[in-house]
Amino acid sequence: MVLYYADMNIECLRHRNRFLVWMAVYCAVIFADAYWLPRPERTDAIHVLGALLPMIPLIFAGLETVASVRAMDELQRRIHMEGMLLGITGISIVMLSVGLLQFMVAVPTFSIFWLWPALCVFYGLGTAIARRRYA
């Protein structure tokens, strides 16, 4: 979800604002989980529920993203499609490289949690490159 661009129509702005609200709810749930549910010695149902609870606002944020892209014109959709293609391709190359390094050279592992920020960075770069290309 792009936070702002010059040609953004009113409907896209509405979806962006709803997206930001859902992301704020997501952050609040993450902090509440971290505060009220300390790491357990053994997994129980409450901790599983607490771990999956932040996914609810993320689902709604994702639906707002889809609605925002549907409200865009064809050029903006194409720019975002190219951004996602670069994001998926970039993260695939990085993850395959890291996987091969872990297998062959015994590089330490890292959490899958870091895939999302890396995908966002690649998507942002791809969108910026595509926007410059079509400017």
pLDDT, average across residues 40-64: 89
Selection from 69, 79, 56 nearest residue 129 by Cα: 79
Buried b (16+ CB within 10 A) or exposed e, 113-123: eeeeeebeebb
Instruction: Give the tens place of pLDDT for each residue, 9-42.
Output: 888 889 889 999 999 999 999 999 888 887 777 7
Residue 10, amino acid: I
Phi, psi of 6 (to 5 degrees): -65, -35
pLDDT, average across residues 54-74: 92
